């Protein structure tokens, strides 16, 4: 199998620490990955610079393979530096290019500090939008958060709630659901995906008494999907669709805004959740957490979500045939 490319993420965050933890957990079993980072940084495990991804497999049992890309400034834990922002973005771009060239099986991204990148001139709200630009496949990129107990997909992502609601249309909801259903079939091996579509208002609007958005926007999207043969139902009351009894009745929940999707999955499985970008020409996963600047450098960071992201990326690469 080709190795996976792991990006550095925010150098002042926990990326190096969880990368080391993931290597320690996976060194004997794989999947093999290499880190695009500054190999002169302090790591808690043995590291070895490599000149090309093909060298990673031979190095992996004994040391964390690093494709050495020097940082302009030595990182200080917990204190992001805009001078390092171009290197953070370059690592993402290089990982994507390696996948496109068939030299890496997929990309696993460490968390970035969006405010720092924005201050340095980065014009994208986050990873998902940037990856859609440089690795798009003709459809909008879609964020899925996946864990053992739940998969959620937000229709709108990194934007203010008022703007997110204003952007909702039946077509946008249906397009997101179609991309999700296709990915569940082709990459997750679910022959007949079942989608649960969340309502927007309390109790999915109570037949219009709490707003007409569920009647005028969400219900038409579900009708469109069902007419196309997609097993979708909704709008469902968001306060009950994530309960233990409800979750087994669907394969993914289509949610209408960021927190409607991320609150339930992070509550259920903060350590094991994985961010997957659907609709790309490459495989991309990421841990379902941020840079954790408050604990960076303390040795307290939990690599579980990154380990899950690496394992899922390998599974998706095998399904795509890029492994």
Residues of the binding site for a divalent metal cation = 158, 203, 258
Binding-site residue ranges for substrate: 127-128, 266, 275, 284
Q: Is 208 left (phi over 0), alpha (psi -120 to 50) or beta?
A: left
Q: How far apart are CA 170 and CA 172, in angstroms?
A: 6
Strands 284-287 and 107-108, sheet pairing:
parallel
Q: Under 8 Å CB-to-CB from 75, ≥6 apart: which residues?
A: 11, 12, 41, 81, 84
In DSSP notation, 118-141 reads: HHTT--SSSHHHHHHHHHB-SS--
Q: Work out whether the CA dihedral 88, 136, 187, 153 comes out positive or negative.
A: positive
| Residue 64, beta-bridge partner list | 47
Q: Which of 300, 305, 243 is nearest to 269 (CA)?
A: 305
Rg (CA), the chain: 20
CB 196, CB 146: distance < 8 Å: no
CB 306, CB 314: distance < 8 Å: no
Quote the tokens at residue 148.
Answer: 């053992």
Q: How many CB atoms lie within 10 A of CB 321?
A: 7
Binding-site residue ranges: 127-128, 158, 203, 258, 266, 275, 284
């Amino acid at each position: 199998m080709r190795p996976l490319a792991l990006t550095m993420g925010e150098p002042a965050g926990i990326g190096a620490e969880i990368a080391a933890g993931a290597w320690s957990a996976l060194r004997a079993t794989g999947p093999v990955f290499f880190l695009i980072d500054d190999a002169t940084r302090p790591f808690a495990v043995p590291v070895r610079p490599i000149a090309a991804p093909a060298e990673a497999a031979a190095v992996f049992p004994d040391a964390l393979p690093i494709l050495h890309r020097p940082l302009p400034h030595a990182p200080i834990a917990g204190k992001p530096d805009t001078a390092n922002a171009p290197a953070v973005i370059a690592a993402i771009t290089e990982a994507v290019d390696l996948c496109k060239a068939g030299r890496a099986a997929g990309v696993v991204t460490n968390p970035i500090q969006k405010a720092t990148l924005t201050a340095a001139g980065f014009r994208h709200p986050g990873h998902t939008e940037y990856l859609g630009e440089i690795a798009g496949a003709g459809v909008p990129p879609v964020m899925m958060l996946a864990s053992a107990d739940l998969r959620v997909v937000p229709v709108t992502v990194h934007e203010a709630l008022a703007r997110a609601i204003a952007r909702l249309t039946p077509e946008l909801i249906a397009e997101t659901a179609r991309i999700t259903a296709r990915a569940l079939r082709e990459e997750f091996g679910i022959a007949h995906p079942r989608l649960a579509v969340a309502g927007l208002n309390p109790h999915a609007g109570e037949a219009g008494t709490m707003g007409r958005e569920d009647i005028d926007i969400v219900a038409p999207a579900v009708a469109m999907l069902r007419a196309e043969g997609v097993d979708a139902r909704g709008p469902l009351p968001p306060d009950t669709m994530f309960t233990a009894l409800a979750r087994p009745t669907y394969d993914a929940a289509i949610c209408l805004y960021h927190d409607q999707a991320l609150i339930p999955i992070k509550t259920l499985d903060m350590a094991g959740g994985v961010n997957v970008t659907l609709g790309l020409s490459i495989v991309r996963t990421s841990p379902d957490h941020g840079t954790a600047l408050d604990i960076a450098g303390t040795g307290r960071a939990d690599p579980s979500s990154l380990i899950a992201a690496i394992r899922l990326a390998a599974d998706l690469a095998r399904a795509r045939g890029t492994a």
